[in-house]
Chains A and B, each alone.
Chain A
């Protein structure tokens, strides 16, 4: 593992955590795709209800 200099550490802490944002985005995509799959793949094909 490459050692970070104190300046690099300070810069990394100062900026937004990109890795966290990437994980959140992946979860968001999974959640949206899962919901769309359930709604369009299961709920609507099972017939309209009212």
Chain B
């Protein structure tokens, strides 16, 4: 089969570009552990409010036994709970979120916190928020007539302010 020289060059260049992009992604995935969140953990969505972790009183940011930060959230039509959440800037945090009803998604604008929330499963994202500010969290999976109004606020604050809010218990 005759392939024109220009076409051959373009095919080769396309492969070089694609492999270079994949190589960069693979290098970051292997060396820096940056990859799409994946966590397979089941939970009964119908009794979420009765579970210890996702009970209304236990939602929000807490320090785990090993000192790491864990944020627990519930997505339910039509909001994220807690509605306002404070997290410290530049500190690794594990966010665990479960749906109480239907399929939801959460995307925090201007950050990489973005995951689907499938009923019956616990979604888990490990991330670090590098900039202080007030960031809106939106549902990005159509979940019903109130989907457009399903949002929340994430406050990325200094570590001092975060520690103070933890002491006050207003997170």
Contact = CB atoms under 8 A, between A and B. Distances in A.
B37 interface: yes
B36 A46 contact: no
Given A16-B6, A39-B24, A48 B32 contact: yes
Contact of B126 (A17, A45, A50): A50
A28 B128 CA distance: 33
B17 A48 contact: no
Given A24-B10, A28-B13, A31-B17, A48 B128 contact: yes
Contacts of B128: 47-48
A9 interface: no
A35 interface: yes
Interface string A21-50: 100110010011001000100011111111
A16 B17 contact: no
A20 interface: yes
A20 B130 contact: no
Nearest to A31: B17
Given A24-B6, A28-B13, 15 more contacts: A16-B5, A16-B6, A20-B6, A24-B10, A24-B13, A32-B20, A44-B28, A46-B110, A46-B112, A48-B34, A48-B128, A49-B35, A49-B36, A49-B37, A49-B112
Interface of A: 16-17, 20-21, 24-25, 28, 31-32, 35, 39, 43-50
Pairs A-B, 8 closest by C-beta atoms: A46-B112, A49-B112, A16-B5, A47-B128, A50-B126, A16-B6, A49-B127, A47-B130
